[in-house]
Every structure is written in C-alpha cells, then in structure tokens.
Amino acid sequence: MSVAIAYTEFGGPEVLREIDIPTPEPRPGEVAVRVEAAGVNPIDAKLRSGRRPSAAITEPRRVGSDGAGIVTAVGADVDGVRVGDAVVFSGASGAYATDVTLPAARLHRRPPGVSAAEGAAIGIPVGTAYQSLRSLSVGAGDTLVVHAGSGSVGQAVIQYAVLWGATVIATSSERRFDRVRALGATPIVYGEGLVDRLRDAAPGGITVAIDAAGTDEALQTSVQLVADRDRVATLVRGKDAAGLGIRAFSGGSPMPLTAQQQTWRDEAVPVTLALLAAGRFSLELGPSFPLADAADAHRAVESGVDGKVTLVP
C-alpha cells in the first residue's frame, strides 16, 4: 500500500488527511514514481478551500501536481525511461503521495546537482512565468513590471525576462528587496504612490506588466502605466481581465490556455532544469514538511512564507 493526502469536503487546511491507496501500477505509456518531494502551490490551497471553483467532491480528492522522485516501474510502450532514474514531473493527479503514476511525457530527467526539492519547485511557478512572458513577447527593449516579484512566480518572471534582455521592475515588500535585486530586477515597494515610484524607476516608460499579486493596486497600476493593454496580464484575477481589457492566463480565467500556451508551460520544465544544472537559474526554497503535515504546509503557503514550500513523504 501507499499513502496519499486527500480531502472529502472543502474547508481549511484541517480537511487534509492521509489515506491509504493501492501502490499504483503503470499502464501502457505510463511510469510509476516513488515521490521524494512534492511542490505545494497556492492553487492547491485555493481548490481545497473552495475559493477556486471546482467540481463537487464525490470521492476523496487527491492534491498536488508537481514533484520529483525515482522511477520504480515502467509501463509498456515507454522508451527512454528506466527504473532508478531520478526525474521531475508536473501535471500529476495527486502528487502529495508516496507513489504516483503518470504519462511518461510528463517526466523529465533530473540532472545531477538538482535536488528533489528544487525539481518539485519548478512546475507551476516556472511554467506560468515562462508561458506568460512568451505570450506577451517579452524581450530586449522591453521594460516589464511584475507585481509580487518576490514570490515563486515573480522570481521566475524576473529571471527569464532578464535572460531574454528585458529591463525588470518588481513590486515587493522592502523586506524582500535584496532577493529581488539579486535576481536582476529593480525593487519598488508597493503601497500609496506606487504609480509615481514606477514612473520614476522607468523614465522611458513601461511596456509590459504582469500581475502575480491579484490586488486592485496591481491591476489599476498596470493599466494606468502600459499603453497597450494586450501586453498587460493577470495571473490571479482571471475573471476580472475582460472587464479591464487585459489578458489572463489561468488564475480563474473562464478562457482555457491555448495549445500553444500549454506547450510553453510544458517546455519550461526541461529548460529550467538545464539552467539550474548550469547555475544560471535560482530557486528559493522555503520550509519543507513531512507528508503527514500537509495541513501545516498549506498554512505556511497561505501565510505568505518566503520561498517554495515542499512536502517530503
């Protein structure tokens, strides 16, 4: 038997509990992985609480999509994967577990020197950042403002935008300025007078804005400073995007990602792994919790703890 985290009703972190599950066996085209670390993402807590609408719960609902581990079994019709391989995965159904199965296409070999926790931290944050920047055609000559630049998504936005030649300004609390600067962005404290501070920081103008904060301030500032609203996107307030005339990528948007956008999100994982292995990408890891303490991990995420939270079975 294996163990997974699930919930049977919407509510606070306390609804999360351990359940026993049969150790999963891979079907044709699938691979089984013994999980070494699972990434805890804000969307996990939003779905658990019911703040992000989802289908009615009819059976214990598993949690988590990102992780890293060791291949334990390979199904028929799978090439290029062997038992014992260290891998990173994204898009799993129920990554908060000791064992998972998933399509082989969702796996990526984990380079030496990249830890399981780092691998588990990549999926949703980096995929979201990478796809958003590609969708907005961010590159040399752009001045980008990213709201919530010190969060996991914001940090990935900064690094890829800088790598692709953009000038980056990131809103943040003053306490997190050093981290934002270390990634190559100019930090600006949020709060009253933000528009004027951003204008002072970018006398040539701001060409692109990404909202990873979800505040009214972030949205209003973005549309006030960027002339082309097709180059303003929210990653949090998707349901409000149409009314503002801006773009949304998931984050509650009624419009699903396009095939191209999903391809970019998938592409981000191996690209980031390669950069990590080469020392050209930085992940800020936060606290790690035992699998049984998934409720505490959710509390940490909801409290805004610094760094990426992970679970260790």
CATH number of the structural domain spanning residue 135: 3.40.50.720
Q: Is residue 265 part of a domain?
A: no
Do 77 and 167 lie in a common domain? no
Q: How far apart are CA 17 and CA 219, in angstroms?
A: 36
What residues make up the domain containing 107?
Answer: 2-122+283-312
Is the whole-model pTM more than 0.85? yes
- The predicted structure's pLDDT at residue 192: 94
Do 143 and 243 lie in a common domain? yes
CA distances to 31, 79, 270 from 82, rounded to whole Å, are 9, 8, 18
Do 217 and 130 lie in a common domain? yes
Q: What's the pLDDT tens digit per position in 58-116? A: 999 999 999 999 999 999 999 999 999 999 999 999 999 999 999 999 999 999 999 99
- The predicted structure's pLDDT at residue 215: 97
Q: Is residue 276 part of a domain?
A: no
Do 82 and 132 lie in a common domain? no
Sign of CA dihedral 188, 193, 195, 198: negative
Do 69 and 117 lie in a common domain? yes
- The predicted structure's pLDDT at residue 172: 97
Do 214 and 135 lie in a common domain? yes
Do 173 and 243 lie in a common domain? yes
Spans of the chain below 70 pLDDT:
none
- The predicted structure's pLDDT at residue 52: 93
> Number of folded domains in the chain?
2
Do 222 and 154 lie in a common domain? yes
The CATH number given to whatever domain includes residue 27 is 3.90.180.10
Q: Are 158 and 147 in contact (CB under 8 A)?
A: no
Which two tokens mark 150? 């010190």
Residues 6+ apart with CB under 8 A from 235: 128, 132, 153, 210, 211, 212, 214, 248, 249, 250, 251
- The predicted structure's pLDDT at residue 27: 97
Q: Is residue 274 part of a domain?
A: no
